[in-house]
Structure 1
Amino acid sequence: MIYFRGCTAREKETSIADATENLLKSAGVDYKVLDDEKCCGSVLLRTGFIDEAQSQIQKNTEALSGELILTSCAGCYKTLNQDYEGLDVIHISQFLKELIDDKKLNFNKKDLTVTYHDSCHLGRHCSIFEEPRDVISSVADLVEMQNNHENSLCCGAGGGVKSAYPEIADEIADSRISQAIDTNADLLVSSCPFCKLNLKNRGLDVLDLTEFLIEYGDVNEEQ
């Protein structure tokens, strides 16, 4: 297995990559990371730099072919799964669900209430809704925001909005956090590093799914 960390978890939200690797080691998963990992090419594809994106796709395909590829990033998952050909890709939320079901990871349930933010890429684009919720429910009680699953609101960061129109990205993020606060949850969990980056520091604790498990799950390594 190759753990494809993605740009955000590798460079900006490094605690997500660290938490993911800690969980993989706790479960005894044999994996490796690429020392020279490159961007998946998502931004190039979405902004119209098709030739540059195809060059990136070719290089990554050569490095990743023949391996099961684990991603932290919802955007990387969508891109590697839908814009590449012949790759075997799994998102961390799906893989954690498998590890929990196989009792390779065991967590202690807490008196804790959590709400979950469906990222656009993982949710509406890839129809992954239940796996992250099942993982959360192994540790805490889950409460839903007004908009969830297919009707979830965007975090405000996608589509280049955060870079081109930061004030709009902030307004959208504040609206989403307001919905989370209305649930009276103790914290908000997402399965997308980019969503976490835009939603954090707005009045409610925000964690990636992997960070949440490390901080609150009390990983029990006894099998």
Structure 2
Amino acid sequence: MIYFRGCVVREKLPQIANATERILKKAGIEHEILEDENCCGSFLLRTGFHDDAIEVMEQTLKELEGRKILVSCAGCYNTLKNDYKNLLGVELDVIHTSQLFSQLIRKGKLTLQKTPMKVTYHDPCHLGRHSGVYDEPREVLEAAAELVEMKDSRERSHCCGAGAGVKSAFPQTANKIAKKRIKDAENTGADTIATACSFCILNLKDTVKNSSENNENVLKVKDLSEILLMGLEDERI
């Protein structure tokens, strides 16, 4: 199995890759990482650079075709799972970390202790509406912590504001959208908002950090892998 970290995890959120690899080791899952890993092409596709995206995707396909692929990022998952099929005519064997973790828990490959953390889950657009993955992330969180749902979740989930290049081109708009989603999370009484997309995590974290309303009870933002690792026996991060 190849663990495809994705650009954002590699460059900005290495803690997600670290947590994921520790979980894989705990479950006895052999994997490899591509040190010269290419981009999946998602960002180019979403921002309108179609020809450039196809060129990148064709190069990345040479590394991944015929292999089982594990991804942390919802954007990578949607691109590798759906866009490579629709645009390149190739069906890749790709699984998101939330799906693998859920399988491992159900099979008894991971022994968990529930943490006292109260968590709410933000459905990433690419993983939820685009790919139909709603149950597995919740199964993981329910096994590791107390899960409380936001009023608007699953198909009705609000966007975090980071997708389609909005965070890069219109950061103030992305911040306004993220503030609304953070308010949704705070209304649940949760102390942590978990998600399964590196772009969502970046935008939500930046907004929480830069908010003038921050206080000692500030909402934490974590990837699903980080929450799961906290629930594993003798594992704490």
Compute the TM-score of the two structures, normalised by the length of structure 1: 0.95
- Please name the residue that 1:4 is paired with: 4
Letter in 2 for 1:149: R
Is 2:228 the counterpart of 1:210?
no
**Counterpart of 1:204 in structure 2: which amino acid?**
L
Retained in 1: the 8 A contact 2:193–2:219?
A: yes
- What is the rounded CA distance, in whole Å, between the counterparts of 1:166 and 1:47 in structure 2? 15
Using the TM superposition, give the Cα deviation of residue 220 of structure 1 relative to its aligned residue in structure 2, in angstroms: 6.1
Q: 1:84-123 CA distances to partner (integer Å, 9 max, x unpaired)?
A: 1121000000000011111111110233321000011001
How far apart, CA to CA, are the structure 1 residues paired with 2:48 and 2:188? 39
Match of 1:78 in 2: 78
Q: Distance in 1 between matches of 2:12 and 2:188?
A: 28
Q: Deviations over 1:118-157 (max 9, x none)?
A: 0110011101001000000001121111110000000011
For residues 27-51 of structure 1, give each alpha carbon's deviation from its aligned partner in whole angstroms, at most 9, with x where no partner exists. Answer: 1101001111011001111222222
Corresponding letter in the other structure for 1:73: C
* DSSP 3-state at the match of 2:137: helix
Cα distance in 1 for residues equivalent to 2:180 and 2:50: 33
Secondary structure of 1:114's partner? strand
Q: 2:105 aligns with which of 100, 108, 111?
A: 100
Alignment of 1:1-223 (within 5 A): 1-84=1-84, 85-200=90-205, 202=208, 203-214=218-229, 216-219=230-233
TM-score by length of 2: 0.90
* Counterparts of 1:87 and 1:50, CA distance in 2: 20
The alpha carbon displacement at 1:188 in A equals 0.8
Native 8 Å contact 1:118 1:191 kept in 2: yes
* Equivalent residue letter for 2:232: D
Structure 1: gaps spanning 5 or more residues? none
**How many corresponding residue pairs?**
220
In structure 2, C-alpha distance between the alignment counterparts of 1:155 and 1:11, rounded to whole Å: 20
SS at the partner of 1:110? coil
Q: Is the 1:6–1:72 Cα contact (8 Å) retained in structure 2?
A: yes
Q: Check the 8 A contact 2:110/2:232 in 1, yes or no.
A: no
**Partner SS state of residue 185, structure 2:** helix
Using the TM superposition, give the Cα deviation of residue 61 of structure 1 relative to its aligned residue in structure 2, in angstroms.
1.1
Aligned partners of 2:51 and 2:180: how far apart in 1? 37
Q: Report the residue type matching 2:2 in the other structure.
A: I
Cα-Cα RMSD:
1.3
Give the Cα separation in 1 of the matches to 2:50 and 2:93: 23
Displacement of 1:183 after TM fit?
A: 0.5
* CA distance in 1: counterparts of 2:233 and 2:131, whole angstroms: 29
Question: The residue matched to 1:207 in structure 2 has which SS?
Answer: strand
